[in-house]
Amino acid sequence: MQLTERQKLEALAARFYQGLEWKPEAGHLYTTSRADLEVYEVVEVSGGVVRTRYTEGGNPEVSEWPEAEFLTVGFGPQRVWVPPHVLS
């Protein structure tokens, strides 16, 4: 799955202009603040770990991130939630 350019702009606006806060949950989609249209999915949040996967190419590989750092440390602040209304 990829976002359209409009969807990417709407997700970025929700985060950076409207100040929408995000608490990651299973099923949530997110992108990054990079100049691309890539989408990632939160597969599971449990035991202090956030598990995610890249949504393109059918790659079943799951990455794990410490929940406490998922949005705050390293690459974390670059993650941008794609709220459901952006996709409709």
Q: Does residue 88 sit within a domain?
A: no
pLDDT score at 59: 75
- Judged on CB neighbours under 10 Å (0-12, 13-18, 19+), 54 is middle
- Indicate the pTM of the whole model: 0.91
- Does residue 61 belong to any structural domain of this protein? yes
What average pLDDT score do residues 12-38 get? 95
Domain membership of residue 87 (yes or no) is: no
**DSSP character at residue 2:** B
Strand order in the sheet with 29-32: 63-66, 49-54, 40-46, 29-32, 79-82
- Calculate mean pLDDT across residues 33-48: 96
Cβ-count burial of 76 within 10 angstroms (0-12 exposed, 13-18 middle, 19+ buried)?
middle
Q: Can you give the residue range of the structural domain that contains 33?
A: 5-82
* 44 in a structural domain: yes
Assigned domain for 11 exists: yes
Asked if the structure places residue 56 within a domain, the reply is yes
Q: How many domains does the chain have?
A: 1
> What CATH number is attached to the domain comprising 19?
2.30.30
Across 28-54, average pLDDT: 96
43 domain-assigned: yes
* pLDDT score for 57: 81
Q: Span 61-84, mean pLDDT? A: 94
